[in-house]
Structure 1
């Protein structure tokens, strides 16, 4: 068309609307602008610096129909991308405004741009037909008016303002009338009477000229035939019929009944009706007319969203030869009914949403529309379920789906959100759109053990690397945030070992970082450590990592791995007592493994001596006789109650002597008895004091805060033996006081583990008053 758009574009860009004040930018561009034409400096108007448009992904969001514009990634300018045809986009609507949504990320924001496509004169006026035939009676009086169908122009405004000219004619002229509703009525006016015999046919050219610059024209040829005789045409009782029909009108419904009369007589006065033309032309099959009655009925579907107004030209002809006709218009206005449900589109979706996202975070952008008008097209939107998301209206027909409440992926990892739209019709129509919103994990849960304290029993002498227990901590987070590794906490916990000192727990045990398997680094020795208390730490792989702790109390279970150890034996006292000596033994184990019993191994049978099963007291089983010989050798076996049992053997040599040795032995025995009595009093006092101290310490431990149970040197242990049996208990590096009870005279003994080293032989004197013998006992023990 030879039009230079450069100056026009610059003027329109300078007239681009107010920037960002109300969150909206307006531009204007003429239709048919070439691809690449800059509509406006969008990035600059949005306040973005150089380079930001590309970095923040400035882009347009399509909303169902082609926008024909795009954002230049490098410059951030809004440019024409394809042909803009205002008539295709908006039809006869003016102004033609396209509503665009512009997104920018980091942070996500939405801007609304209104692009007005201005009209240019690119459509020429167009008549319904290139040729129109008219038949006029020759007796038509001057001033007669014959309606003509005007041209239409797809443009708007001044470009669609039409004027008409008629080729020069002495008989005809044009009359153009405009009603208050801006409708045009074009008439062919007869200026001079017609004479069929002079000119039977007139050919004229009707030209329509629009108001554009330069103007465009359209033509239609008028072929006017002059008829003879029948000089009265039918006349309608009104020139315009106005009807309103709802778009839901069923087929067959009566629209209107037109009526025309002809004053002629006979066949020249009989009228038949027909629809001469319909605007728009595509609606020619929507209406029909009864040729005899003039009833106009609906024969097709009405759709307010497609055509809101119909213009029917009705012609009434008589049956003359040639027939005469009259014309009227039937204007049908279509009324909207609520026959279109709302439509919901998701224009942008930002998922997954991190579970620590702030309240107000935009999750999705939605566009809602309804093709109906008025209340039928007003849409209300809501989101279901109501939590944790909500809707915020950002622009006409645009909503943001935002976060209303804090998220917790461990409680709900994904939401199915439904956006529901309802129009204002009666009854209302509804539509919905589902949005799937997954929630991404953040490291907000520390590993948690199933229990705060684990009690583990482990037998001593276990193999190095043996599994002691399995610990497990749960972390509800996912992926690395929930992947747990285990370790023994350094510097926390340990054990006090026998002989003094402290050893860290990490020297005894280790935990597998992945499986939580607790295993021994070395064999455990109950006699060295009984209780090992330490902490196991579970750490996840999040950033930053979170951790949880559990306390492990490892109790070492004793095994029978120590044989009884013999102590120096004690001799019996003089008098009628039957006790010759006491065999003393200790066992480093505990419980049944340290419960000792004594058996006389040799001699077997009915010897003169016997040994207490649990006391270890060697006593006479009967009175000694000369036949028993001057020397007796006793072999005594000491066994514990372990499985299997362990044992030790003691050998006693008993010699029988007479005479001066007896007197000497008696004096020694008396002195020993006196000394024994003194020590007995001291021992009783010491034991009483220890017992009172033990009671006080026990009460304090019951009320004191709980502490780790550690093995190590403890208070002295009191072990008593008698004929009826008792427990014997020993502890390495312990000191014990033992009081022997029996039929013979009591004795007091103090021993120390150093006495167990090597083998020794001692003489013990025993006085038997009945026979006045003095026996010499030699005890060999190891």
Structure 2
């Protein structure tokens, strides 16, 4: 139990002693102690537990001088770090105490530690010179005294207490007088008259020993020359002079005039004044003595803070032979004046300061001192500007810079604080020290977009990776708290615009996480997508992260990327068309094909021979089509309607026009640049009866499903025999009746559509304005406004069997063929004629509104009606 209470009692006693000592810890260490020597258990003496010195960052701050000691981070002990030389640190001052400041962080505290460096006998006595020459007149009486320069010892105390011995001599002895504990006068005393003729030179050794253990000693050789004649030395009126001089005395100031007398006569009485050679050269540089008058003046500038007093040894030497000299001492006291401004040091600085730091947080520790003394050295301190920081005095000459107001880095990111110090002199001197206090950021601001909604226009068919827009969100925080990353948060498109299902916006667009650059992941297709709305989120990198959102409305602008596509005749299959319709031979693609049509000789101007139909998948002007007759140029027998596509006679047809006319018709849209498709129409000029038979053959050909190639000459003879057979039967049985019925229908009946076959009829309005159309999303019908041109009534009825493929599996009936009634003169069966063969039609990719095909991805206008896409183009 006693073993356990022992350390506790020691700690309590130590804490009580520390409290009574004003919060200071004192240690002692001998000079020249080896590096690593433990001075004291600093952490334990300060009341810190084991492990706390390293955790709380116990460290040492020296003021002014090099400390030569340090704090061990692991144990918290105060150890010697470098050579300690008391003479270098304190000179002759005793005691030699170093004032240290110990800082402890978390929380921040400061302690004062006083380290006394004790002296050891490491310096031997040292004479000013190794050899001293003296001249003594042989007439000198026994008992004559000759002052000698004593030795000096850099140590203090007993180690500097010197004793002198002189080598044995029958003529000379040594007398040592102690003025005070710091001054010892050594005098050589003549014990026996000298005889120059017997011994002209005496050589003695003066030894000085200090009081250390072991004792150290130094020697000086005395060479005494015995002279004749002059036997009286000069004498001062007093042996000690005391003078005061302010430290700001200008160089050349007279502060003392000495007077010495000599009882001799003549040249032996003339005196020269000089400084003793015992005075250092540095001191002699500060003063000047007039050799004749004995006036002493200042030669340099004095500094009370450097040296407070000077001891000047003066020698008065006569001009006798040999010369004799007298000595005196001048004690000059330097008086302090207020010539030093205060000094301010920042001993510790805890920056940056977080903007959410609490009031009272210690930002810096400062030390203030003034080298002057008395009132000149008393210092007052203040901080400018007053807010948001203030000063709190901790110890004498120590202050803490603390936070007095809340900070906001977004308003002020850095403070320049000035600590001002003023001493109590008259007039007072001032000093200041600037402290830069940066404020560290806290994530207290969320990113904010400049706009809540961004409207972006993007042309279709843009390249994948093309930049659409740049979004920017501002976050006033800095570093990671202000570093914003972007992402597509939510949004998309669904229904028919996305191919029947929902597609998220991230499948169309992406945003660069760092720059906010919005770019397309794939080419945009206006025919698939018109508007895409989604949200972009901006998130900073703070902890916790904050975010902001913005809505982006992306509008796809239509480009003229679809060329007009030629449509087959309304019958839906190859072969001769009805009156006013051309028979179609499909080409290599939707933009190419060949048409066949028949016209009767003598047909009047304006009679419609055929109608070219085309469609454009674009919208607006890009889908507005016009038809131009490319060949033949000039005054041909045919013309084409600019917007209707109707091929009609430009004048009455004559036999001189030949049996066949080849027309090249170009279909152009109004896009930039315009796209076009070319249709080749072959018009056969026949008699009126042949034209009627061609129309009849068209009806029968649809039921029998004729299939022949337009370029196959080998099958022409077989088709010709079949046609001749049909013509012969028709001519015998009903040629006359058929001619009458057709003639009456063309002459007196109104231009109306005839419904052929079962199924409901769909009415579509068309005009010469053309096939330009525009449909909004989800629209299913379109009627172009009535124009000034001729209007047609078109009735859809099935004329052909369903084409093979997926469309043939539909249970609903096929879309009816489109027929135009054409009025003209009656035609007679004057002679049989072969019908040109046509290849079979492929499955049509488009269906006219009112049919039973599947719903298209979007409406497309054609000739005033609505076309629905049912297959691949």
Same fold by TM-score, threshold 0.5 exceeded? yes
Secondary structure, in 3 states, of the residue corresponding to 2:528?
Answer: coil
**Deviation digits for residues 18-67 of structure 1 (CA, Å, limit 9, x no counterpart):** 36997754434455666655433222244433123345553334556442
Q: What is the alpha-carbon distance in structure 2 between the residues aligned to residue 195 and residue 622 of structure 1?
A: 173
Alpha-carbon offset, residue 99 of structure 1? 2.2
Out of 675, 678, 700, the residue aligned to residue 644 of structure 1 is: 675
Out of 736, 740, 764, the residue aligned to residue 782 of structure 2 is: 736
Is the 8 Å Cα contact of residues 631 and 663 (structure 2) preserved in structure 1?
yes
Q: 1:27 to 1:554 in 2, by over 3 A?
A: farther
**Deviation digits for residues 631-674 of structure 1 (CA, Å, limit 9, x no counterpart):** x999996934152223679999986977677778999859999x
Q: 1:560 to 1:579 in 2, by over 3 A?
A: same
Q: Which position in structure 2 is the counterpart of 1:503?
A: 503
Is the 8 Å Cα contact of residues 71 and 79 (structure 1) preserved in structure 2?
yes
Q: Which position in structure 1 is the counterpart of 2:70?
A: 70
Q: 1:513 to 1:72 in 2, by over 3 A?
A: closer
Q: Which position in structure 2 is the counterpart of 1:48?
A: 48
**Deviation digits for residues 495-525 of structure 1 (CA, Å, limit 9, x no counterpart):** 5534755422233344566787766555543
Q: 1:228 to 1:195 in 2, by over 3 A?
A: farther
Alpha-carbon offset, residue 75 of structure 1? 1.4
Secondary structure, in 3 states, of the residue corresponding to 1:92?
Answer: coil
Q: Which position in structure 2 is the counterpart of 1:115?
A: 115
Is the 8 Å Cα contact of residues 31 and 117 (structure 2) preserved in structure 1?
yes
Q: 1:544 to 1:456 in 2, by over 3 A?
A: farther
Q: What is the alpha-carbon distance in structure 2 between the residues aligned to residue 197 and residue 601 of structure 1?
A: 155
Query: What are the within-5 Å matches in structure 2 for residues 592-631 of structure 1?
Result: 592-597=621-626, 612-615=641-644
Q: Which position in structure 2 is the counterpart of 1:555?
A: 556
User: TM-score under structure 1 normalisation?
Assistant: 0.61
Larger deviation: 535-544 or 119-128? 119-128
Q: 1:603 to 1:442 in 2, by over 3 A?
A: same
1:458 aligns with 2:489: no
Secondary structure, in 3 states, of the residue corresponding to 2:44?
Answer: helix
Alpha-carbon offset, residue 591 of structure 1? 1.8
User: TM-score under structure 2 normalisation?
Assistant: 0.56
Is the 8 Å Cα contact of residues 72 and 79 (structure 2) preserved in structure 1?
yes
Is the 8 Å Cα contact of residues 140 and 193 (structure 2) preserved in structure 1?
no
Query: What are the within-5 Å matches in structure 2 for residues 186-335 of structure 1?
Result: 236-245=236-245, 254-261=254-261, 273-276=273-276, 283=283, 287=287, 289-298=289-298, 302=302, 304-316=304-316, 328-335=328-335
Alpha-carbon offset, residue 734 of structure 1? 1.6
Q: 1:455 to 1:258 in 2, by over 3 A?
A: same
Alpha-carbon offset, residue 256 of structure 1? 1.9
Q: Which runs of 5+ in 2 are unaligned?
A: 1-9, 572-577, 581-605, 684-689, 696-737, 755-762, 808-813, 828-837, 845-873
Q: 1:475 to 1:761 in 2, by over 3 A?
A: closer
Greater strand proportion: 1
Q: What is the alpha-carbon distance in structure 2 between the residues aligned to residue 428 and residue 470 of structure 1?
A: 67
Alpha-carbon offset, residue 101 of structure 1? 3.5
Is the 8 Å Cα contact of residues 415 and 437 (structure 2) preserved in structure 1?
yes
What is the CA RMSD across the aligned residues, in angstroms?
7.4
Q: Which position in structure 2 is the counterpart of 1:98?
A: 98
Q: 1:218 to 1:586 in 2, by over 3 A?
A: closer
Q: Which position in structure 1 is the counterpart of 2:732?
A: none
Secondary structure, in 3 states, of the residue corresponding to 1:310?
Answer: strand
Q: What is the alpha-carbon distance in structure 2 between the residues aligned to residue 617 and residue 668 of structure 1?
A: 21
Q: Which position in structure 2 is the counterpart of 1:689?
A: none
Alpha-carbon offset, residue 613 of structure 1? 3.0
**Deviation digits for residues 411-448 of structure 1 (CA, Å, limit 9, x no counterpart):** 98x99999999999999999999999999998888888
Alpha-carbon offset, residue 739 of structure 1? 6.1
Q: Which runs of 5+ in 1 are unaligned?
A: 1-9, 573-577, 674-682, 684-717, 774-779
Q: What is the alpha-carbon distance in structure 2 between the residues aligned to residue 148 and residue 486 of structure 1?
A: 93
Q: 1:561 to 1:384 in 2, by over 3 A?
A: farther
Secondary structure, in 3 states, of the residue corresponding to 2:565?
Answer: coil
Query: What are the within-5 Å matches in structure 2 for residues 565-604 of structure 1?
Result: 565=567, 587-597=616-626
Q: How many pairs align?
A: 700
Q: 1:618 to 1:271 in 2, by over 3 A?
A: closer
Q: What is the alpha-carbon distance in structure 1 between the residues aligned to residue 502 and residue 15 of structure 2?
A: 87
Query: What are the within-5 Å matches in structure 2 for residues 113-512 of structure 1?
Result: 113-118=113-118, 236-245=236-245, 254-261=254-261, 273-276=273-276, 283=283, 287=287, 289-298=289-298, 302=302, 304-316=304-316, 328-335=328-335, 353=352, 358=357, 453=454, 455-460=456-461, 465=464, 467=466, 469=468, 471=470, 487=487, 489-494=488-493, 496-498=495-497, 501-510=501-510
Alpha-carbon offset, residue 259 of structure 1? 1.9
Q: 1:327 to 1:565 in 2, by over 3 A?
A: same
Q: What is the alpha-carbon distance in structure 1 between the residues aligned to residue 766 and residue 356 of structure 2?
A: 73
Q: What is the alpha-carbon distance in structure 2 between the residues aligned to residue 97 and residue 616 of structure 1?
A: 116
1:721 aligns with 2:734: no
Larger deviation: 656-665 or 79-88? 656-665
Q: 1:296 to 1:738 in 2, by over 3 A?
A: closer
